[in-house]
Structure 1
C-alpha cells in the first residue's frame, strides 16, 4: 500500500485515482482495524458509488483536501464533522443532527472522567461520543496514556453507541476511528424494542438526543421498559431506557421535547414522578425553539438527572436559554448573543444561586412545589415575569390633551374647506 500514500496518490490522473479507490483502497479499508472491530463490521459492505464518468470530481476533491493540513488527528476529525454538518435532511425516523455547539455544551455540563463508561442509545453519527472523546483528550490525555488500564478502557470499553440505521452506524464508526478511538462499541440495535438484560446498569454517563417519532406498536416495545412506564410513546420510553441502562450513581443529560415536561397523560406524570421521587432530578435547561432548524422547529429542553433508586431530588435548577450564538431561523447565522458560557458557569456554581428570584434567567424550585404541580417541569410554570411600572397622566390631563387635538383637527378641516371653496 506504500505506493498509494497520499503524496503519490494526489499526483495520479483522475481515472487512475478512481481505479485505485474502487479496486484497492475500499477493499483494504473494509478490513481496517481488524475483522472484529466496529469499523470493520459496519464498513464491510461499503462501496465507492461515484460513477466512473465523474472521476474528474474526485480529482477536484483530492486537490481541495491537499490544501488542508492533515498532520494531526483533530484536522481529519474536524473535516469529517464539517462534511456531516452538510447533511441537510432529517432521517426517515425522526433523526436530525444535534448541533456541535449544543453537544459540546452538554459535555461541558457533565464533565466526563477517564473512569466513565459513556453511552448514547440513539447515537446517529456519534456526535455525543466524539464530543466526549475530545473533552477527555483535552482534559486528561496525559493521565489516560500514562496508565495502561485507562488507555485500554478509553480505546476499547468507554464509548458505546446504538442505532438501527445502517448508514448512521457506518458514519459513526468512521467518525470515532478518525477521532482516535480504534475500537468503540458501535452496535446495530433498536434500543426501544430490544431486550436490555446485557446492557442493564452498565453505563455511568448517558448523553443523547434520541429521535421522537410518536408511538410504537405495543407488541414491539421491550418489556423491561414498559415495567418502568406503561406507554407506547417513544419520548417517554427513552427516559425509561436511560434509567434502565444507567448504573446506580450514573448521570444523564438528554434532550427531550417540551411535551415530556408538562404532558398531562398518566404515563407523562408517571415518568416525571419516577425521576423526581425515586432518583435525583438535577436540572432543566429550556432551549429556544430554533435550535434544531432547519431540521425541525420543535421546542425542547435538556433534562439532567442522576440514577439513585432511592430519591434525592431536593431543589431543581432551571435555566431559560434565549440564545445559543446563532440566529433562530433556518439560516442559523452566527450572532453575538450566546447564553452557553453563562449556562456552563452557572451550572457548575449553581449552589451559589440558592435564593435567586424567579425573574432571573436561572433559579431553583423545591421538590415539594414540583410535586404539588403534578410534577410539571416546564419552566413557564415557575418563572416569574417582572413588569415595569408605567405611569400615566391623570385622567383630566388626558381629556385636556384630547380636547386640544380635537380643536386642531377642526381647525385643519376648516382651512381645507376654504381652500376648496
Structure 2
C-alpha cells in the first residue's frame, strides 16, 4: 500500500499538469508514463552498471557514450528551458532505440510525443517524478495503480476502469497458476493482467522467499527494498516476463499505459499489442495466438457498439452471426482458449436473456459445447457513475460438458451503488469467492439446493427449457412473507371516528369565529 504522502505527491503532480494546460486525464497519465519510463531506463542502467562492476560481466547498454547527457540523473540538473528541449528532441526519440528495434516497447514508444509545452511544467513534473520511489519494487505497482485510479474519477471520453475489487474476486475464483498463459483481448490499462500477476506473486512466494536489499537512489541515499524471491520469480521468471501475460487493444494510448502498468508491477517484457481482436487481420498478424492459444482469459470487453460484418473475422461469425460487440467478444474469447481453458467474462445482462437469434445461438453454444461453471450476477451500480447497466460474470471452461450451472446473486460489493461509490459494510464478494471454491454439484438435485438463497444450482435441462436463458431472476425463488391486515369493517369504523373528530374540531373553530 502507498502512504498518504505518496498519494499527496501524485495528486500534486496531477494538478501540475491540469494547471499547465493538459486537461485530458489519458494524456496526463501518458505523459507521466513517458517520464517515469525515462527515469526507469536510467535506474536500470545504473543497476546493471553496478552489477557489471561487481561481477565483472558485460551487459547491453541502453545509452551509448554520446547519449550520457540524456540520462535522467544528468538532464534533471539542467535549467528548465534546456531540459524541455532535451526531453522533447532527444529523450523521446531515444525511447524506441532504448527498447531495441523490433521489441514490444519499441512498438509502444515509436509514436511517443512530448505534449508538455511549458518549461515550468516540465521542470516541476520532472522534480516530482524524481521523488517517487520507483526503486521500490514493492511500492511502484501500487503507485501506478493509484495514478490510474484518476481515470475512474475523470471519466473523460468514456475511459474508466473495471473496479479493482471486482477484478480481484474474478482472479481469485479462476485461481491462475504458473502453468497458465493468460490473455485479455480488450486489455485497456491491463488491470486484469496486473491483478493476476499480483495474485500469483502472493500465491507462490513463501515468507522465507522475501528478503530486503539495499538500493542506492538518485540522490545517493540508501533504501531498504523488499525483494520477492519465491518460486514464481526464481523458477518461472523468464516465462512470466515474456509469455505468461498477453493483451490486445486498439487504443494506442491505452496500450502504452498498459505496458507501463505491467512493467511497474514487475513484468519486464509484457506481450501487449495494438490490434482489434475481432477483425480478420488478427488471425493474419498473430496466427499462433488467434485460436486455441491460451489457458485463461479474464476480460471486460466493450458493451456498446456494433461492427460491420465485413470487418469481423468470419470464423467468429460462424459461431454467432451478429454485429453486437458484446456477443462477438464472448465468441472470440472461446476461440482464443485451448480445450480445458478457463475464462471469466463480464457481460451486460442482455447477453443472458436477449431473445434474438444471435443471443440464443451464443448461449446455446456456451451450454452445449462448453462447461458454463457459474453465472455471478452483479448489482447494477458497480460501474457508476459512468454506466448503470446491470452486468454478470460468466465462468466458462472450454470444451467440457455442462450439466448444472452455479448461480450467485451479488447484492453488495462493499461500495455504495449510487454515483458516489463510497465504502460500505455490506460486501458479498468474499462470500462469492469462498462459496465458488467450495461449491458442491452433488447437492444440485437435493433439498440442500435452496433457490431462495444467494447461491444455488440450476440444471441444464431447466436452462434448455427456458431457451438457454441465463438470467438469475428466471430461476431464483422469491419468498413472499404473508401480510396480516385488519378487518375492513374495523378499518371503516376507525375512519368514521377520525372523520367525526375532524368535524368536531371544525365546529369548535366555527364557534370561535
**TM-score, normalised to structure 2's length?**
0.75
Distance apart, 1:253 and its partner CA: 0.2
The corresponding residue for 1:286 is 377
Q: What is the SS of the residue equivalent to 2:333?
A: helix
Aligned residues: 412
Residue among 103, 119, 122 paired with 2:183: 119
Q: Give the Cα–Cα distance (whole angstroms) in 2 for the partners of residues 59 and 251 of structure 1.
A: 48
Contact map agreement 1:31 1:44 (CA 8 A) in 2? no
Matched, 1:396 2:492: no
Distance apart, 1:268 and its partner CA: 0.5
Matched, 1:313 2:402: yes
CA RMSD across the alignment: 2.3
The corresponding residue for 1:57 is 121
Measured against aligned partners, the alpha-carbon deviations of 1:360-398 in whole angstroms (never above 9, x if no partner) come to: 122211111111111101111112222222222233332
Distance apart, 1:13 and its partner CA: 4.4
Q: Give the Cα–Cα distance (whole angstroms) in 2 for the partners of residues 330 and 17 of structure 1.
A: 42
The corresponding residue for 1:188 is 274
The corresponding residue for 2:17 is none
The corresponding residue for 1:165 is 251
Matched, 1:348 2:412: no
The corresponding residue for 2:354 is 263
The corresponding residue for 1:75 is 139
Residue among 149, 153, 166 paired with 2:239: 153
Residue among 37, 43, 47 paired with 2:103: 37
Give the structure with the larger helix fraction. Answer: 2
Matched, 1:243 2:334: yes
Q: Which runs of 5+ in 2 are unaligned?
A: 1-62, 206-229
Distance apart, 1:6 and its partner CA: 6.2
Q: Give the Cα–Cα distance (whole angstroms) in 2 for the partners of residues 33 and 73 of structure 1.
A: 20
Q: Give the Cα–Cα distance (whole angstroms) in 2 for the partners of residues 288 and 43 of structure 1.
A: 39
Q: Give the Cα–Cα distance (whole angstroms) in 2 for the partners of residues 7 and 389 of structure 1.
A: 74
Q: Give the Cα–Cα distance (whole angstroms) in 2 for the partners of residues 102 and 219 of structure 1.
A: 35
Measured against aligned partners, the alpha-carbon deviations of 1:104-163 in whole angstroms (never above 9, x if no partner) come to: 22111111110000011111111111111111112124112332xx22221111111111
Contact map agreement 2:70 2:90 (CA 8 A) in 1? no
Q: Give the Cα–Cα distance (whole angstroms) in 2 for the partners of residues 7 and 260 of structure 1.
A: 53
Out of 401-410 and 244-253, give the one that drifted further: 401-410
Q: Which runs of 5+ in 1 are unaligned?
A: none
Distance apart, 1:215 and its partner CA: 1.9
Contact map agreement 2:349 2:471 (CA 8 A) in 1? yes
Out of 370-379 and 7-16, give the one that drifted further: 7-16
Contact map agreement 1:116 1:205 (CA 8 A) in 2? yes
The corresponding residue for 2:296 is 205
Distance apart, 1:296 and its partner CA: 1.9
Measured against aligned partners, the alpha-carbon deviations of 1:276-308 in whole angstroms (never above 9, x if no partner) come to: 111100111111222122332222111111001
Contact map agreement 1:118 1:207 (CA 8 A) in 2? yes
Q: Give the Cα–Cα distance (whole angstroms) in 1 for the partners of residues 139 and 91 of structure 2.
A: 21
Residue among 177, 186, 196 paired with 1:132: 196
Contact map agreement 2:184 2:299 (CA 8 A) in 1? yes
Out of 117-126 and 400-409, give the one that drifted further: 400-409
Distance apart, 1:96 and its partner CA: 4.0
Distance apart, 1:8 and its partner CA: 6.4
Q: 1:68 to 1:419 in 2, by over 3 A?
A: farther
Distance apart, 1:95 and its partner CA: 6.0
